[in-house]
Each structure stands twice: as C-alpha cells, then as structure tokens.
Amino acid sequence: MSPTELLLPAKVYLLACRGERVPDRQRVGYLVRAAALTELLLRGRVLDHDGIVGAVPGGSTGDAVLDEVLGQIVEGGPRKWRHWVRKEHRRTLDSVEDQLSDGRVIRVERSRFLGRRRVAVRDTAAVSRLRAMVDKALRGDGPVSRISREDAALVALVAAVELKGVATGRDRRRFRDRLQELEERGGAAVPALRKVFRELRQVRMAAAANSGGSG
C-alpha cells in the first residue's frame, strides 16, 4: 500500500489509528468527514461560495465514500461548511473503515462487548511514511508553495483536531504561521473542522465540570 494511492479520508483515518483502536470516534468522524469534503473540493466536485458549499454536477467520482458525501450535498443543497462537517460524520467514518477493510488495508474485529472495534493496520510502514510526510511538511523549512495541495490539506486537517502523536496543540501554537499557509492551500473545510472540534471540546469540558460538581 502506497500513501500516494490513498485519498484524504483514508489517510487521516490511518493517522488516527493508535494501537488496536481508533480513539475518540466522534472527533475522528469529524476529521474523516472534513477530509472527504476537502477531497471533493480539490477535485472540483464542490465549490466554496463565501463559506457555502455547493455541489458541481457530474458523474461518479470513482470512489464510494466520496460519492456518498457528494450525494448528500446534492440532495441537501448548498449549506455552510460547518453543517457538512457535522452531517452524517459517523456514517462517513464507518464507510471509510469498511472501505479500508474491504481493501485489506486494515483488519477490523467487532467485539461483542459494547460493540467495540479492534483495528489492525496491515501495513504499518505506510502509516509511518504518512507520519513522516506530515512531520516534514509541518516542521520543515521549505516553502509551503512547494507542498502539494493534498499534502497541505492533510497536515492542516490533522492539526485542526490536534491529532495525538501527529500534530498536537503545542505544534499548532509553535507553527502557527506555517499552519496558516498550509490551511490556505488546503481548503475551506479546515476552519469549519477546527470550529466543530472546539465546540466538541467545550461541550466535553462543561460536562466534565458539571459531573465533578454534582458529586
């Protein structure tokens, strides 16, 4: 498996895998969803009109996950990026996972206990290459203009959710200016993803505070 053969949703999913699981499936669901929207944007199958996502008429994208997301946009009509990042994120995550499993990129075992899933990446070297690419794009000193839009988008997406072991909150602060450049190359879904992630974190912090105070 070569990283160049994978689309953005698959790449961010593999980067999110840790051990034998995908921790925080809600956050990863948003990440995968934003990656699919970004892939569609880079392919010219959706357009950004002042923060509104609109579908571009055409046939199949050649990818089942992208077709699924694009079909939802066609049916739902133009909406803000934030809406489409949140919409059906669990379904998109499951679709990417099934696609990678069918392609023998990962192996998924579903436990009877609480329906948990164990995920094993078959080609760990490919994931290491993805991590190395992200590291070079984020921490390197080469001009961002020489980084492909796909790679720039990948880095900006994982940084937006502070993906552990890949792009942390500390990285976001340290490389703020470079990430801004990468984000500008990566597309309009990234700011929406970052906003959704912040909202999720705030909700969880409030819930944790309320839980602690109730005791």
Is 77 contained in some domain? Answer: yes
Q: Strands 52-55 and 106-110, how do they pair?
A: unpaired
**What pLDDT, in 10s, does the model give residues 156-187?**
999 999 998 898 888 889 999 999 999 999 88
Domain count, the chain: 1
Is 213 contained in some domain? Answer: no
Task: Give how far the C-alpha of residue 70 lies from the chain's centroid of Cα atoms, to the nearest Å.
Answer: 16
Is 39 contained in some domain? Answer: yes
Is 28 contained in some domain? Answer: yes
Which tokens is 111 given? 């436990």
Cβ–Cβ < 8 Å for 74, 55: yes
CATH of the domain at 194: 1.10.3630.10
pTM as predicted: 0.91
| Domain of 121, in residue numbers | 3-203
**What pLDDT, in 10s, does the model give residues 121-157?**
998 988 999 999 999 999 998 999 999 999 999 999 9
pLDDT at 52: 96
Is 95 contained in some domain? Answer: yes
* d(C-alpha 138, C-alpha 123), whole Å: 23
Is 211 contained in some domain? Answer: no
**What pLDDT, in 10s, does the model give residues 15-28?**
999 888 888 899 99
* d(C-alpha 48, C-alpha 97), whole Å: 27
By CB neighbour count within 10 A (0-12 exposed, 13-18 middle, 19+ buried), where does 60 fall? exposed
Q: What is the CA radius of gyration of the chain?
A: 17
